[in-house]
Structure 1
Amino acid sequence: MYELVAPAPDGGVFLQRLGRAGYPTSDAEALDPTDLAVAIRGIEERDRPRWVWQRTTDWYPALLAAGVEVDRCHDLSLSAAILAHSAYTQDSGYTPGVPAAGAVDADHVLARVPPPPHQGTLFEHDAPAGPGPDVLASELRDQLGAVARSPQAKRLTLLLAAESAGSLIAAEIQHAGVPWDAAAHNALLTDRLGPRPTGFARPSLLEAKAGELRTLLGAPMLNPDSPQELMRALHRAGIEARSTRAWELRQYTHPAIAPLLEYKKMARLLSANGWAWLDAWVADGRFRPEYVVGGVVTGRWASRGGGAMQIPADVRSAARALPGHRLVVADASQLEPRVLAALAGDEAMAAASRDRDLYAGIAAAGFGGDRAQAKVALLGAIYGATTGESGRLMPQLTRLYPRAVALVEQAARDGERGRTVTTHLGRSTPPPSERWSASQRTTTAEEQRRADAIARDRGRFTRNFVVQGTAAEWAECWMADLRGRLRRLRAEGLTAELVYFLHDEVVVHAEEAAAEACATAVRDAARAAGRLLFPGAPVEFPLSVAVVESYDQAK
């Protein structure tokens, strides 16, 4: 059973009950936006429908601010983005009737969480604009029909459900926010950089480091934040670096190199997570990142602003549980290699993955126990680094795990030829770019060499697409299952909320009495996700789980 939420032309909202096939079973009910939260709460408690809307981001953040959670939804835009390209629907005739969410599409980034609504109202003004109930109901029917006609209907159904669940989770994570100790953050900035300056001045310790650089490079007017000025100063000092990248600078022994590297690290802290970041992203003791579900073409999430996809080590100690609470930090160990073993049905690699350290298992099987070599070989196969050391080790990896290597090699060859590759559940690569297509129309030897290089680039992308994309599917299924378990814990009166997600890692903020139950929940959810995607596969998806007071203690 579906319940459709759609904007009305007069700024109001329509609710309409739809049957399993997406056809209306009642007339659309017009509501004032201020009455929507109460109406949705009642329907959710009574019927537990699957809510249908054009974009979760249009409605759910404000519902959460009004204290209303929903169990399930169908996000039409996210689903359209999948179905429009999926090889599993290529013969269905499906064409999106609503704008499909795209990779890093700003329209589908969660809006800033609104403040608690006044007197229980949901929207102070009009509801979000967009297509009405007839258009959205028609789009739902088209999507359901495309899935039903697919030879992989079961997988597609799971993918759309997981992606839509991800849209709910993203809104809930942003609403909850990561507990953040602003005073601790300010203290570490002061310790590393000096007291907060006024205006655009550098903090005192950073300015002192800049002064040290000027002296050592003999450049009294140097602005070390200018790459052009810095390169000229380096060259005048006899440091013939071609860039200011840290790995290249470390090759030189000049006395300015160490302070320059330290300056770059300090400047990076100031620009990425300094006081401006603290002012913009932390409020009421919470860091609330803006997530983009499916923001990467493989299906991985992205973020806009705030650096949600990487909390640097320098500031992790500020991500701190509230008194009487703990952070439960869990990450999937070596997720992508384990996904490859399951995708390929490679029993030998699956056997190696039963060890907690998959690379050690592979090393013991055929690399003389050399874990480093095993890791280089396997990651080279997944990411396309098949020359150099990886290329040298590839024949041995192929002898050990022929099915796994064959899967990524076939994906690479398909990509080079402009073909589509598809994840386990049905997310496919977009068609080749115009640049790729134009490059393949060659007439000279030089054009052919360029065409071959462009083709290999696409092959490296498709090689990893099937693995990274399937890993993203596993992660969304993991979180969706975990979300249900945490909701059940809250129903028992315990405090437990999912507050952070990064590709293969989650953070739960829980009261101390619930922390171990949450740790069990994340492990059980990982096992459930593995069984759901790969039923019967002998591949394990172990987690590293830490119950800590601050995020840095888990790293």
Structure 2
Amino acid sequence: MSLLLLVDDPARPDVVGLRSLSDDGTLLDSSEVPTDALPAVARERADRPRWVWDDTARRYPPLLAAGVRVERCHDLRLCHAILRRSVYTQSSALAQAPPGPWDGPRDPAPVEGSLFDDVGPAAVADPLEELQLQLAAVAGSDEPGRLRLLLAAESTGALIAAEMHHGGMPWSVETHDALLTDLLGPRRKGGRPAKLEALADEVRTALGQPALNLDSQPDLLRGLRSAGCDVESTRTWEIKALEHPVRDPLLAYKKLSRLLSANGWAWMEAWVHDGRFRPEYVPGGVVTGRWATSGGGALQLPASIRGAVRADPGWKLVVADAAQLEPRVLAAMSGDGAMAAAGRQADLYQGVVDAGIVETRSEAKYAMLGAIYGATTGPSAVLMPRLTTAYPRAVALVEAAARAGERGDVVSTWLGRTSPRPDAAWQAELAAASAEGAGADDVRAARRRGRDWGRFTRNFVVQGTAAEWALCWMAALRRRLLAVDGRPHLVFFLHDEVMVHSPAAVAESVAVAVHESAVEAGRLLFGETPVDFALDVVVADSYDQAK
């Protein structure tokens, strides 16, 4: 398969350069085409190249708008972020180079918490040089096969994100309006809807403060305290603990107020057009490799409005959710046969109960999530010894990751995405606490920060590997959907869940493709693993029917 690199000429913005390359990045041929002619050139190529470009979010949308679909690509910026940090490539020239333009944020700027936090000095980015550095880093790495799979999956994810934004999620404005009206009352210009205002009045009455501004956190906190409520904040968990008449109306108000601000009529007008919701996905936007969004809040759609996500007439939504994905990933990574056996059931947690490890499903869930997230108190901590005895290899893997984090070391996912190191302040505090004559308070503070970072690295290896599985799942599904009549297409992705908009006549075939793609993703990552990656797949007319 050939590589086709896109290159800009700052002096000629109306022209784009095309560089045909060998698999090792050697230049074979060079040409220039007018920028507006690029879609036609891409459509006519029969050699199915792997497109290489600086940023899929920049390059792909104009092609999609012209009706051109790219089969595969290599996103230089996303791949640079992975290779720059990976433990498998630390001896490479790319990893050892000083910060440069490929370390900076893409345009537009990423969301908070993105991978591209270390902005390098201004410089001209040479895409051919960068590609050659990346290819050399992979070829000389400790695990070239794993890294190639990770880079291909990450780049394909970027294509999928652009395609989902372009196609949009089917959305009924009429249903959304009806749901909001039922929950909040009719829309009122310049004021709260009636039901929300009635709840606000209940809160004020319960607190004996008729003029209280509920939308001001400081005012509400003062109001609660003056009414005798012992709270440190207005967070929901603190309000739930109150024994006061204000508790229930305030909780209801907070929930509905959040709905109005996050997904109310103003949100609908901003984000839903022509019957489609088009969020802006950010692949690799979270340090573990999970996606984020830079607008629209697609990863946080509340259950109360999911009914507005409705298939077009003659179409269906095929919604698939990977059941207990992270525990299954942990079983596959660790090679823990006993845990894999529990995961052969559709409900892994029930499999833990049936194995006699714990007595109830809720205990199994507490214990498993405690192992992954590092719970040190509560039910999870109490149940951890049983889990350690039953699944020693799985628990040993996350414990080793936690200890590495506590020392300030990095950890990696299955395919090689590597965690960042703690910041300089963390390192200095750890060193000071280890020095002779360190005070007891300094030692305790350093240990606390170490445990916190250990919980991060413990979760990083599992959550990051689950993100890799999900990328491979989507990539395999995207390929299969091309072979199904009627152009079914992905319209939504949330960590361990996908949604396909499909013609009704082929919806069951799409459901089969979803299952087959999950099996393929497991084999791509873990080979012939005994772990089953179970799915809940529903064919429905609307999102609320599937959840």
TM-score by structure 2 length? 0.93
Q: Residues 501 and 428 (structure 1 numbering): CA distance in 2 closer, same or farther, change over 3 Å? A: same
Residue ranges of structure 1 left out of the alignment (5+ in a row) = 110-128
Residue number among 435, 438, 455 corresponding to 2:450 in the alignment = 455
Separation (CA, whole Å) in 2 of partners of 1:216 and 1:57: 51
Match in the other structure for 1:251:
241
Residue number among 19, 23, 26 corresponding to 2:22 in the alignment = 19
Match in the other structure for 1:533:
525
The structural deviation recorded for 1:216 is 2.4
Separation (CA, whole Å) in 1 of partners of 2:172 and 2:407: 52
The structural deviation recorded for 1:130 is 9.4
Map 1:284-303; keep pairs closer than 5 Å. Answer: 284-303=274-293
1:76 equivalent in alignment to 2:76 = yes
Match in the other structure for 2:427:
437
The structural deviation recorded for 1:223 is 0.9
Map 1:79-118; keep pairs closer than 5 Å. Answer: 79-95=79-95, 99-100=101-102, 106-107=108-109
3-state SS in 2 of match to 1:294: coil
Match in the other structure for 1:149:
140
Contact 2:399 2:458 survives alignment (8 Å): yes
The structural deviation recorded for 1:374 is 1.6
The structural deviation recorded for 1:107 is 3.3
Question: Could you tell me which amino acid in structure 2 is paired with residue 517 of structure 1?
Answer: S
Map 1:345-356; keep pairs closer than 5 Å. Answer: 345-356=335-346
Question: Could you tell me which amino acid in structure 2 is paired with residue 499 of structure 1?
Answer: V
The structural deviation recorded for 1:209 is 1.9
Cα-to-partner distance string for 1:258-286 (whole Å, 9 max, x where unaligned): 11111111101101101111011101100
1:262 equivalent in alignment to 2:257 = no
3-state SS in 1 of match to 2:32: strand
- What stretches of structure 1 move > 6 A for 4+ residues in a row? 101-105
Match in the other structure for 1:187:
178
3-state SS in 1 of match to 2:493: strand
The structural deviation recorded for 1:103 is 9.1
Match in the other structure for 1:33:
35
Contact 1:105 1:295 survives alignment (8 Å): no
The structural deviation recorded for 1:211 is 1.9
Match in the other structure for 1:136:
127
Question: Could you tell me which amino acid in structure 2 is paired with residue 91 of structure 1?
Answer: S
Residue number among 441, 446, 452 corresponding to 2:441 in the alignment = 446
Separation (CA, whole Å) in 1 of partners of 2:331 and 2:220: 47
Match in the other structure for 1:5:
6
**Structure 1 stretch 12-21 or stretch 382-391: which is displaced more?**
382-391
Map 1:188-207; keep pairs closer than 5 Å. Answer: 188-199=179-190, 201-207=191-197
Question: Could you tell me which amino acid in structure 2 is paired with residue 335 of structure 1?
Answer: L
Cα-to-partner distance string for 1:502-538 (whole Å, 9 max, x where unaligned): 0000000011001101101110000000011010210
3-state SS in 1 of match to 2:307: helix
1:519 equivalent in alignment to 2:521 = no
Q: Residues 540 and 99 (structure 1 numbering): CA distance in 2 closer, same or farther, change over 3 Å? A: farther
The structural deviation recorded for 1:48 is 0.2
The structural deviation recorded for 1:191 is 1.8
Separation (CA, whole Å) in 1 of partners of 2:366 and 2:105: 30
Match in the other structure for 1:175:
166
Separation (CA, whole Å) in 2 of partners of 1:456 and 1:105: 36
Separation (CA, whole Å) in 2 of partners of 1:337 and 1:103: 33
Separation (CA, whole Å) in 1 of partners of 2:44 and 2:244: 70
The structural deviation recorded for 1:304 is 1.2
Question: Could you tell me which amino acid in structure 2 is paired with residue 251 of structure 1?
Answer: A
The structural deviation recorded for 1:294 is 0.4
The structural deviation recorded for 1:226 is 1.3
Match in the other structure for 1:485:
480
Q: Residues 104 and 258 (structure 1 numbering): CA distance in 2 closer, same or farther, change over 3 Å? A: farther
Q: Residues 300 and 435 (structure 1 numbering): CA distance in 2 closer, same or farther, change over 3 Å? A: same
The structural deviation recorded for 1:245 is 2.4
Question: Could you tell me which amino acid in structure 1 is paired with residue 304 of structure 2?
Answer: D
Q: Residues 319 and 543 (structure 1 numbering): CA distance in 2 closer, same or farther, change over 3 Å? A: same
Match in the other structure for 2:66:
66
Question: Could you tell me which amino acid in structure 2 is paired with residue 406 of structure 1?
Answer: A
The structural deviation recorded for 1:52 is 0.2
Contact 2:110 2:294 survives alignment (8 Å): no
**Structure 1 stretch 202-211 or stretch 165-174: which is displaced more?**
202-211
The structural deviation recorded for 1:250 is 2.5
1:240 equivalent in alignment to 2:230 = yes
Match in the other structure for 1:307:
297
Map 1:343-422; keep pairs closer than 5 Å. Answer: 343-422=333-412
Cα-to-partner distance string for 1:12-69 (whole Å, 9 max, x where unaligned): 2111111111111012x222211111011112xx110000001111110111011000
The structural deviation recorded for 1:249 is 1.9
Separation (CA, whole Å) in 1 of partners of 2:85 and 2:163: 28
- RMSD of equivalent CA atoms: 1.8
Separation (CA, whole Å) in 1 of partners of 2:218 and 2:442: 34
Match in the other structure for 1:121:
none
Match in the other structure for 1:274:
264
Identity %: 57
3-state SS in 2 of match to 1:309: helix
Question: Could you tell me which amino acid in structure 1 is paired with residue 62 of structure 2?
Answer: A
Match in the other structure for 1:333:
323
Separation (CA, whole Å) in 2 of partners of 1:543 and 1:511: 21
Question: Could you tell me which amino acid in structure 2 is paired with residue 394 of structure 1?
Answer: M
Residue number among 229, 241, 249 corresponding to 2:219 in the alignment = 229
3-state SS in 1 of match to 2:501: strand
Question: Could you tell me which amino acid in structure 1 is paired with residue 158 of structure 2?
Answer: S
The structural deviation recorded for 1:105 is 8.5
Separation (CA, whole Å) in 2 of partners of 1:412 and 1:253: 39
Separation (CA, whole Å) in 2 of partners of 1:265 and 1:486: 38
The structural deviation recorded for 1:434 is 1.3
Residue number among 532, 537, 540 corresponding to 1:548 in the alignment = 540
Equivalent pairs counted in the alignment come to: 527
Match in the other structure for 2:115:
none
3-state SS in 2 of match to 1:537: coil
Contact 1:408 1:464 survives alignment (8 Å): yes
Contact 2:101 2:123 survives alignment (8 Å): no
3-state SS in 2 of match to 1:15: strand
Contact 1:319 1:550 survives alignment (8 Å): yes
Q: Residues 363 and 48 (structure 1 numbering): CA distance in 2 closer, same or farther, change over 3 Å? A: same
The structural deviation recorded for 1:243 is 2.4
**Structure 1 stretch 388-397 or stretch 284-293: which is displaced more?**
388-397
TM-score by structure 1 length? 0.92
1:475 equivalent in alignment to 2:446 = no
Separation (CA, whole Å) in 2 of partners of 1:277 and 1:130: 38
Q: Residues 228 and 216 (structure 1 numbering): CA distance in 2 closer, same or farther, change over 3 Å? A: same
Residue ranges of structure 2 left out of the alignment (5+ in a row) = 112-121, 433-437
The structural deviation recorded for 1:101 is 6.4
Contact 1:18 1:25 survives alignment (8 Å): yes
The structural deviation recorded for 1:255 is 2.3
Contact 2:318 2:538 survives alignment (8 Å): yes
